[in-house]
Chains A and B, each alone.
Chain A
Amino acid sequence: MSPPAKVNELLAAWGKGDDGALTTLLPLVYDELRQLARRQLRGERNGHTLQPTALVHEAYARLVDQDSVQWQGRTHFFAVAAQTMRRVLVDHARKRHAAKRGGHAIQITLDATLAVADRRDVDVIALDDALNALATLDATQAKLVELRYFSGLGIEETAKVLGISSATVRREWATAKAWLYREMTKL
């Protein structure tokens, strides 16, 4: 069975409530994402600037036969990919940091102060820890951040995946960001 066909089938099965399908699906997605990430990092000499969303989209394009999968399948894929992407990035970062420091030291790099695009490179290890902590307080909120940040789902799509309204997504996103930011900048 070719990968797209297989992934399509697994997505459909999972969508129907077969959690076993997920166990088969995850390694497939993980391997693909890891390969893509590695390739991108090789070509990127400027340090760690993975574009998680770009990777997820590329993985989607490669793994899923987009003509035959239904919309439901697409959101499910991104939901899975979010978890997976998170893990890929954390693993990658752990390996990089292992030799240097314990892992928690820098949270937000110098880029935090760089004005140009006001984008900040986030230390994924710290984010991972903070998300785990948030999950103990509010699992949905942690999931929401995962979907938005690691899979790049838009407000609407996130709302559909989680079965809540767009307004709620916006509100939860804002408060979760504030919480995470504080958590990650704590000394």
Chain B
Amino acid sequence: MGHGQGLALSRDDQAVNHEPAARWKRVKALLAVALEKPLPLRAAYLAEACGEDAALRSEVEALLAAHREAGTFLDSVTAGDGQASQLSSGTRLGPYEIVELIGAGGMGQVYRARDARLGREVAIKILPSGGHREQALERFAVEARAVGSISHPNILAVYDVGTYEGGPYLVFELLKGQTLRELLRPEPLPLGKALDLATQLAQALSAAHDKGIVHRDLKPENLFVTSEGRLKILDFGIARLVAEVAPAKPSGTVTGAVIGSVGYMSPEQVRGERVDHRSDLFAFGLILHEMLTGEIAFKRQSTAETGSAILNEEPPRLPESTPPELVRLVRRCLEKKPQDRFQSAHDLAARLATVPSATTARMPFLAELKRRRVFRALVGYAIAAFAALQIIEPIMHGLHWPDAVLSYVVVALASGFPIVAALGWIFDVKAGRIERTLPAAHDLRGLRLALPLAGIGLLAAAPGLVYIFVLRQTPVRAERDRSVAVLPFASLSTAKENEFFAEGVHSELITQLGRMAGLKVIARSSVQQYREGARDLKSIGEALGVSTLVEGSVQRAGTRVRIAAQLVDAVSGRQLWSDRYDRELADSFAIQTEVALEIARQLGAKLTPAEKQLIERAPTRDPEAHELYLRAIYYAERSSSRADSEKARELAAQAIARDPSFALAHAFASILYSLQQFNCASARQHADRAMALQPDLPEAHEALLFIYGYCQVDWAAATQEGLTALRGLPGDAMIRSTVGMAQMRAGDEQAGIVNLRHAFDLDPNKFEVAVRLAIYLLSLGQFEEAEHAIIRLRLLNPDDESTLFLTAALASRRDGDFEPLRKVLSRLPAEVELGPGWWWLLLDVPEDTLTLVASNRGTPLEGRALFEAGAHFTLGHAREAKAAFEVMLREVQSRQKELLASGHARWAHNLLATAYSGLGRTDEALAERRAVDEGAQPPLRRHEQLIFAARDAVFAGQPDVAFTRLDEALSQRRTLTTSYLRASRFFAPLRADPRFAALLAKYETSSVH
């Protein structure tokens, strides 16, 4: 009870020291206000608020520094808001329905669930909710999606992310098996098994590291071994995200999660230094060590001792029976300095492949090589060759011989290797005999033979050393490349007006920087999520793949503006430059220009005179017009509703009304008209005006790109305009993607796909950009890469029609699997217009098509009749099919003029050809088909047309024609595949024909797959 007395403190019986208390009150108030201001403005605020009182100011500054360092100090646990209660079976999270809880741990609960859309089972991890900051959640989603983009058989696939009651959840593939921790619990693994798992782990790490994603928290708890023996890495990149997002651990869960991981940290992690992929290799070494011994190499009584052991101690020895190659490999992984370890997971995997296991046949051969001392001969040769090179190189440079001579020498030296290996093999057989009789002579023999061997090597040729040589010459990559992301600017007054202005400044600065070809600038849509507030610059930098970041703030009072900006190194957090501008509103454009040029200078980007001129030219002299324009951009980019786009057009019109010579505003208005309204006349008017005012304005050419593309369907002209626009705005993903699409359609597929990919790299979060890439990859038959883009689409916007269409298209075309298509059809809203794209897919699922058409309201009559006719035909309902073809023919004929005029001529001819074929009027069908197929066609369209023609031939009952068309289409190796034909119900009538089997055989045997 003694304690009880001692702690019976009532609420405020402590003696309060009045003078310091008053002081603290003041300091605290200043600190609180300062903490709410963005970093760059704090100093200014304090200077103003503290006035002459330097002591006060330094006190607050010291506390600000303490606050920054403190991080999550004391934030250990918050109960109540951190506890997730268990979800009951049947609970729905978006499209997922909870089945049962399968696990719980420090990072949240894991459930088995059903994905109602695809009818498959998934695993859902729900992280503790509450206490998350909104932006932290958004960042979580974005980064989790990036992680989800690694597709590798040994990495747990992330299907989806979402939020449930304020907390994030992740959707994974559902696995059966156990974690490596559980597998290791009874005893260490046999050598063969350990090697197998280690190999899988190394391969998975290679794939992830190639994408620049580092795990940082590898441990047996994070590795899963399925019942088929496949290893899966869990929580790739997630561990760190979770630590960031979830401020709390739920009470009552396993403690010691931190401790548990400490045992698998690399020395650099223990020191809190920068961590890269080589940290994962250290963890790999620890895990392999544990698989072989059952012990964690550096496990000690406490965290501190464990940390110290990792930093200072040698790892314990592996069992005697371990192959020496493996002992060396583990040791190399566990080197304290990252530069002493394997430098990549690829190297590690390659080395691992050479380790003999009890089960592989390599053992005897390797052992034999060793016995014959072939390695020794090779090493001796390598040293001699290297020394020779070191001597030759300076001499050569001294004599000014061409580099080709050196290359020849290198090649010559390298090709000596196989010869040495062969000689080494033969030689040692003799040596072995000699050794038995004359042991002393052995070394002498070795030396005598090494010399002629080196001589032979010098005269021969092979590629190995060239590689090493070339690598040696590669300059070390500069620490900081010229990439930058401009984070949204903070708006420092609450007025809505100021917010527009801040958005506008942000957007313009990105545009200005985007004009410089020497810089990689992240698009606005990809930085929007990093709103002001506590942002972790380092992880933002990593997520966006940039080495520098710009942050800033904007404040307006009447006609005065204050813009502050700073450039920060994303890795070190060091400020590279910062400045503050206090000017008149009219000067705001000049400030943006100054900031942009300063950033370019800091990053060492060289500007061409043309670029500089474009950047420096003020778009308008009228500050109010400029402001209206900025506000128009604000609404256009938000563009969440029709009202927003109308508002944007209205503001652009007002800007033009104030300054009729405002070329940029004209171009902008034109784009709004062509893209959002299909108002081609107005779009053309504004574009022409912009061109007349400022013919070199890239945005004016951008406006023309859209007009030629969307209004006139002239892809060659669109390409020309787009390329001109890109010269001035090389970093604009939307323009680049549109140019890529135009090139594809115009027939320049090589350039087109390059631009589409490049656009995707520039702005991976832009849905339209990813859609186009997916479509054209699919049309090229590049299914694997297309799948990648489609996964991205599912993450960005899973319910969009394009996402659904492409998912279904991939499965049916590549695999002949129509199930995803059927699921997609059941989800399509009735308002969707089923355009020509769907004709591509619908014939093989007739029942679903009929259901779909019956309820669809968005498709014009001829389209619905077409789908209906096709479905009845596949089902063998000849009479119904014929009736539908009649309806379709009538409808197209009555609307022919309209269709031909609206740029849908090709589609109209195709419809007619199909209708005539279906009605058996083959001559008329042929005429219509000729109207489309006339002249040279880009291969892309040719492929489509061949498929249409083959189908028409089936409708018309002309198998000969069908086979010819299919043969040609297959020979293009695009979207039409033998897997599809094999599974297609529509083409089933051809199957009885012996030519069908022959056709499949022709393309299946010569196929690479």
Residues on A close to B: CB < 8 A? 19, 22-23, 26-27, 30, 44-49, 51-54, 56-58, 83-84, 87, 91, 108-111, 113-122, 132, 135-143, 145, 148-149, 151-157, 171-172, 174-175, 177-182, 185
Contact = CB atoms under 8 A, between A and B. Distances in A.
Interface string B5-27: 01111111011110011001100
B62 A114 contact: no
B7 A54 contact: no
B35 A110 contact: no
B307 A110 contact: yes
Given A27-B4, A136-B20, A154-B79, A117 B258 contact: yes
Nearest to A145: B74
A152 to B, nearest CB: 4
6 contacts: A47-B302, A116-B262, A120-B72, A137-B21, A149-B76, A180-B73
Contacts of A111: 258, 303-304
A137 B4 contact: no
A48 to B, nearest CB: 8
B376 to A, nearest CB: 44
B422 interface: no
Contacts of A143: 11-12
Contacts of B10: 19, 22
Contacts of A154: 78-82, 130-131
Contacts of B275: 115
B8 A26 contact: yes
B14 A135 contact: yes
B54 interface: no
Contacts of B639: none
B63 A179 contact: yes
Interface stretch (B175-183, B265-273, B857-865, B928-936): B265-273
A116 B246 CA distance: 13
B576 interface: no
Nearest to A180: B74
Nearest to A88: B3
B303 A114 contact: yes
A54 B77 contact: yes
Given A121-B303, A145-B74, 12 more contacts: A44-B256, A48-B302, A54-B77, A114-B262, A114-B270, A116-B239, A117-B261, A118-B243, A122-B73, A132-B14, A152-B79, A178-B66
B63 A182 contact: yes
B269 A178 contact: no
CB-CB nearest 5 A-B residue pairs: A27-B4, A47-B302, A113-B272, A152-B79, A53-B77
Interface string B61-72: 011101101111
A132 B261 CA distance: 34
B552 to A, nearest CB: 23
B301 interface: yes
B31 A178 contact: yes
A177 B70 contact: yes
Contacts of A149: 74, 76
Contacts of A175: 28, 31-32, 35, 63
A122 B265 CA distance: 21
Contacts of B11: 139, 143
Interface in B76-105: 76-82
B235 interface: no
Contact of B73 (A46, A148, A153, A181): A181
Given A116-B269, A179-B66, A57 B72 contact: no
A180 B72 CA distance: 13
B14 A114 contact: no
B66 A182 contact: yes
A141 B11 CA distance: 11
B78 A46 contact: no
Contact of B304 (A22, A30, A53, A109): A109
Given A49-B255, A152-B251, A181-B67, A136 B272 contact: no
Given A122-B74, A137-B21, A154-B79, A117 B16 contact: no
Contact of B243 (A110, A117, A122, A171): A117
Looking at chain B's contact residues, is the secondary structure mostly helix, strand, loop, or mixed? loop
B76 A119 contact: yes
Nearest to B305: A47
Contacts of A139: 11-12, 14, 16
B14 A30 contact: no
B269 A109 contact: no
Contacts of B73: 108, 120, 122, 177, 180-181
A182 to B, nearest CB: 4
A118 B72 contact: yes
Interface of B: 1, 3-4, 6-12, 14-17, 20-21, 24-25, 28, 31-32, 35, 62-64, 66-67, 69-74, 76-82, 130-131, 216-217, 239, 243, 249, 251-252, 255-259, 261-262, 265, 269-272, 275, 301-304, 307-308
A182 B58 CA distance: 13
Given A23-B8, A114-B258, A53 B79 contact: yes
B72 A174 contact: no
Contact of B272 (A51, A115, A121, A179): A115
A53 B77 CA distance: 6
A181 B69 contact: yes
A30 B303 contact: no
Nearest to B79: A152
Nearest to A53: B77
Nearest to A142: B14
Contacts of A121: 303
Contact of B7 (A26, A117, A140, A178): A26
Contacts of A122: 73-74, 76
B301 A177 contact: no
Nearest to A25: B4
A27 B25 CA distance: 35
Given A44-B255, A153-B79, A136 B270 contact: no
B981 to A, nearest CB: 53
B304 A57 contact: no
Contacts of B21: 136-138
Nearest to A55: B251
B214 to A, nearest CB: 12
B107 to A, nearest CB: 10
Given A51-B255, A119-B258, A153-B80, A87 B28 contact: no
A154 to B, nearest CB: 4
Contacts of B270: 110, 113-114
Contacts of B303: 46-47, 109-111, 114, 121
Contacts of B255: 44, 49, 51, 54
A137 B16 CA distance: 6
Contact of A116 (B79, B82, B265): B265
B7 A87 contact: yes
Contacts of B304: 47, 109-111
Interface centre among A30, A52, A121, A178 (most CB of B within 10 A): A178
A138 B24 contact: yes
A103 B130 CA distance: 36
B537 to A, nearest CB: 15
Contacts of A155: 78, 81
B78 A152 contact: yes
Contacts of B8: 22-23, 26
Interface centre among B74, B243, B272, B308 (most CB of A within 10 A): B74
Interface centre among B3, B12, B63 (most CB of A within 10 A): B3
Contacts of A51: 76-77, 249, 251, 255
B9 A23 contact: no
Nearest to B63: A178
A51 B257 CA distance: 12
A54 B252 contact: yes
